[in-house]
Amino acid sequence: MTGITILGATGTIGLNTLNVISQHREKFDVIALTAHNNVDGLLAQCLEWSPRYAVMVNPHAAQQLELALQQAHSSVQVLTGVEGLMQVATLPEVQAVMAAIVGSAGLLPTLAAATVGKRILLANKEALVMSGQLFMDAIHQSGAELLPIDSEHNAIFQCLPLTFRRTQGLEEVGVKRILLTASGGPFRTYPLAKLESVTPEQAVAHPNWKMGRKISVDSATMMNKGLEVIEACWLFATTPNQVEVVIHPQSIIHSMVEYLDGSVLAQLGNPDMRTPIAHALAWPKRITSGVPSLDLTQIAKLEFEPIDMTRFPCLRLAYQAMQAGGTATAILNAANEIAVQAFLEKRLQFTAIPEVIEKTLSAVTGRHASHLGMILEDDAHAREVASNFTG
């Protein structure tokens, strides 16, 4: 059996991971589950799965969980804080770590798992966005396996030849470019003049995917796709010039790879995160995911459109940050998290999100980071600056 830790077990990815595992209980041993402060959610999971460890990042929530487990006569050991996350990400009995904590909070435990050579199922974009070179160096030095969970990156991974190695680069396996598909979110055809008045409720109403609030807003601004461009560059040892984004409203083709001979390979499937999760859990084998079969006759047509950078300035900013290199992508991510939170709290207009990010990138100069401390310093500085711009 494969021992697994799920970082972010009560979120969308965590729930879908447990759903897939529930269909293959003989293959996986759930060693640890973690959450930030969702006591009821993690308690229910602990009672169902009986992991050896449960981690609540919030200390008060950890106390509540521990008391509830004691009352239920459960032997689950409760840990707390980032230290607890790092501990369960590096346990000897854990072979695979599902890295599904949203935002920068997932960086340290995911990096810890990479350092000790785990199989990392990466759903946390920010680990690569913030610390790309350091993270990939840790992967190479430890011999860890890095399997992407984002539907787009998982699709690219499936379309690349088995001979591909990140130390080679795409050209050596005959790849010309990567085509990242994007649904366009809820505002693909929304009147530009009305964007400044959209509400958080409208922004989180994604037409195809069920996601958390922060990621849903990122999809609406297209920052989610910008972070995916950065992630793709690190995952597949390429440059932003070789990663193109194309609008595909149906979210059936999850991404494509174009080869030098003109062939374009695409991975298709219903928009359900259980497909990439099942793929990564079992790789290089295949297991059932519970996702219904794709009926192309029911879909009838697949549409594609070019990206409108005027409508989606966040995507432009992400390309610029990746081109700049160093900590610029960490600064971009920090400013975005602050701006999105302000929007969700109704303190910032939707159209002001890219404005805050661009001002922060201008105010905080990126630099080459030789160690994690430098990244965290620039991340903290960018959050302080961005907070000033949000009022």
At residue 114, the pLDDT reads 96
Taking alpha carbons only, the member of 30, 38, 50 closest to residue 8 is 38
Q: How confident is the model at residue 389 (pLDDT cuts 50, 70, 90)?
A: very high
Tell me which residue has tokens 């050596």.
172
Taking alpha carbons only, the member of 39, 33, 68, 69 closest to residue 51 is 33
Fold of domain 163-269+297-389: Rna Polymerase Sigma Factor; Chain: A (1.10.1740)
In whole angstroms, what is the distance from residue 139 CA to residue 133 CA?
Answer: 10
Boundaries of every domain in the chain: 2-148, 163-269+297-389
Token pair belonging to 142: 């430890």
At residue 208, the pLDDT reads 65
Angle between helices 328-344 and 313-324 (to 10 degrees): 150
Q: How confident is the model at residue 209 (pLDDT cuts 50, 70, 90)?
A: low
At residue 167, the pLDDT reads 72
Token pair belonging to 377: 């310093």
User: Is the domain covering 2-148 a CATH 3.20.20.70 domain?
Assistant: no
Which of the residue ranges 55-64, 285-294, 368-377 would you say has the lowest mean pLDDT?
Answer: 368-377
Q: How confident is the model at residue 24 (pLDDT cuts 50, 70, 90)?
A: very high
pLDDT in tens, 92-138: 999 999 999 987 788 899 999 999 999 999 998 888 998 999 999 99
In whole angstroms, what is the distance from residue 102 CA to residue 106 CA?
Answer: 6
In whole angstroms, what is the distance from residue 238 CA to residue 59 CA?
Answer: 41
**pLDDT, greater one: 355 or 127:** 355
pLDDT in tens, 258-271: 999 999 999 999 99
Taking alpha carbons only, the member of 9, 60, 16, 68 closest to residue 34 is 9
Angle between helices 313-324 and 352-363 (to 10 degrees): 20
Q: Who contacts 294 (Cβ-Cβ below 8 Å, separation ≥6)? A: 252, 268, 269, 270
Taking alpha carbons only, the member of 277, 297, 305 closest to residue 289 is 277
Average per-residue pLDDT for the chain: 94
Find the mean pLDDT for residues 293-297: 93
What DSSP line would sit under 269-334, residue for residue?
--S-THHHHHHHHHTTS-----PPPP-HHHH-----B---TTT-HHHHHHHHHHHH-TTHHHHHHH
**Per-residue DSSP letter, 201:** H
Beta bridge partners of 253: 268
At residue 166, the pLDDT reads 76
Residue ranges of the alpha helices (H) in the chain?
12-22, 39-49, 59-71, 81-89, 107-115, 126-142, 151-159, 200-203, 213-221, 223-235, 274-282, 296-299, 313-324, 328-344, 352-363, 372-389
Residue 34 parent element (H or E): strand 28-35
Residue 98 parent element (H or E): strand 96-99
Is the pLDDT assigned to residue 391 strictly greater than 80? no
Is the pLDDT assigned to residue 305 strictly greater than 90? yes
pTM, rounded to two decimals: 0.91
